[in-house]
Amino acid sequence: MQKIKVAITHGDINGVGYEVILKTFSNPEMLGLCTPVIYGSPKVAIYHRNAIGLQENFNVVNSAKDARDNQINLVNCFGEEEIKIEFGKATPEGGKAAYVSLETALKDIAAGFVDVLVTAPINKNTIQRDGFHFPGHTEYIEQKLGKGQKALMILMNESIRVALVTTHVPVAKIAQSITQPLLEEKLQILNQSLKRDFSIDNPRIAVLSLNPHCGDDGLIGEEEKTIINPVVENCFKQGIRCFGPYAADGFFGSGNYKHFDAILAMYHDQGLAPFKALAMDDGVNYTAGLPVVRTSPAHGTAYDIAGKNEANEASFRQAVYTAIDVFRNRAKYDEAYGNPLRKQYYEKRDDSDKLKLDQVTEDDI
């Protein structure tokens, strides 16, 4: 079997992207697990490598089709172009380099030259330009490669998964953004992802409230009564094992999250603040719901420690592991459920042991 090809964008070149990438693949066991394909600049990669004192070499290629197993491959997206690196600074050059890397990787994903995508952190402000007017990776990848499917952001590690109904939305607009159709859509995506991407046959999902104390029966908010409760009840009737809403303030501190396979939070900080308190070092951002498998580390550019050899690569390494696991789980799931068998049974009037196959209607199943 061929190794899984992992497309890796270098993110903001003034942050810790290259550092966590290089530290991850300095372990030779990682090269035995997959074939990394970094989308970036050889000159920038060497600059970062020297800054943190590593010795890893790159197999520089013009296309992912030329990537070699057991080597750190680097697709040169910039030719001989000089790119100015300023550790710890948000610059237009850094934003442009992040965009070019991402755009090139997405084209190769679409062409089937690589299997999964792992993105290093970007600066969401400096990357903005013609062709990219999005609040982050998730929305851009959904638009480029979603094929009409909707994305769901899941932050996860081995012990917890937190999904978000709304993502990069200003706090002032959160309540008006949460509707019954949106909440039901996110629950369905999460339920299917737990089954297909994580091989959980009968997942349990906790749904958090929007307002403090679940709205106190309408005293401090009506969304639980008018939106969240009806959706939870309706989805449960459809076979999704979802429960709640639960008041968000005590849900994590009490350890209640340990009883569920995933938690659906209403907005970004409601889910990510407790998640990062519990899983900052090895957390992974996974984009569920799309045809492409995409992960990233749960941290940002970390400008304050860029170039200082202080970045912890554990989150990025887990992002690579997660992308590989999801890719394999999807293949197994699709194989198992791609061609369901017709109903098989023994006819009572037949004394032989011959198995009878017959077409049946949906009502017979």
Single pTM value for the model = 0.89
DSSP assignment of 17-44, as one string? HHHHHHHHHTSHHHHHHEEEEEEE-HHH
Residue 342 has pLDDT above 90, yes or no: no
Question: Exposed (0-12), middle (13-18) or buried (19+): which is 28, by Cβ within 10 Å?
Answer: exposed
Kindly list the distances between the CA atom of residue 188 and the CA atoms of 240, 241, 264, 315, in Å, as whole numbers in the listed order: 8, 11, 11, 27
Q: Which two tokens stand for residue 93?
A: 């050059």
pLDDT in tens, 12-27: 999 999 999 999 999 9
- pLDDT for the residue 1: 59
CA–CA gap between residue 93 and residue 84 (Å, rounded)? 7
Which residues are CB-neighbours of 153 under 8 A, at least 6 positions away? 138, 163, 164, 167, 285, 286, 287, 288
- pLDDT for the residue 352: 44
Residue 245: phi, psi to the nearest 5? -80, 150
CA–CA gap between residue 186 and residue 342 (Å, rounded)? 31
Query: What average pLDDT is seen over the chain?
Result: 91
Residue 363 has pLDDT above 80, yes or no: no
Q: Are 4 and 324 in contact (CB under 8 A)?
A: yes
Residue 360 has pLDDT above 80, yes or no: no
Kindly list the distances between the CA atom of residue 57 and the CA atoms of 50, 178, 204, in Å, as whole numbers in the listed order: 11, 48, 45
Q: How confident is the model at residue 354 (pLDDT cuts 50, 70, 90)?
A: very low
Beta strands in the chain (DSSP E): 4-9, 34-40, 59-61, 73-76, 116-119, 152-156, 161-164, 204-208, 241-246, 262-265, 284-288, 294-297, 344-345, 356-357
Residue 355 has pLDDT above 60, yes or no: no
Mean pLDDT (whole number) for 177-184: 97
Q: How many CB atoms lie within 10 A of CB 167?
A: 18
Q: What's CA 254's distance to the chain center, in Å? A: 27
Q: How confident is the model at residue 141 (pLDDT cuts 50, 70, 90)?
A: very high
Range in 7-16, 90-99, 138-147, 273-282 with the lowest mean pLDDT: 273-282
Q: Which residues pair with 246 in a beta bridge?
A: 208
CA–CA gap between residue 40 and residue 210 (Å, rounded)? 41
Mean pLDDT (whole number) for 159-170: 94
CA–CA gap between residue 163 and residue 262 (Å, rounded)? 7
Residue 242 has pLDDT above 80, yes or no: yes
Residue 123 has pLDDT above 90, yes or no: yes
Mean pLDDT (whole number) for 86-93: 96
- pLDDT for the residue 357: 37
Mean pLDDT (whole number) for 284-307: 97
- pLDDT for the residue 349: 45
Mean pLDDT (whole number) for 259-276: 96
Q: Are 323 and 6 in contact (CB under 8 A)?
A: yes
The sign of the CA dihedral 162, 195, 169, 216 is negative
CA angle 4, 272, 291 (to 5 degrees): 35
Residue 364 has pLDDT above 80, yes or no: no
Residue 351 has pLDDT above 60, yes or no: no
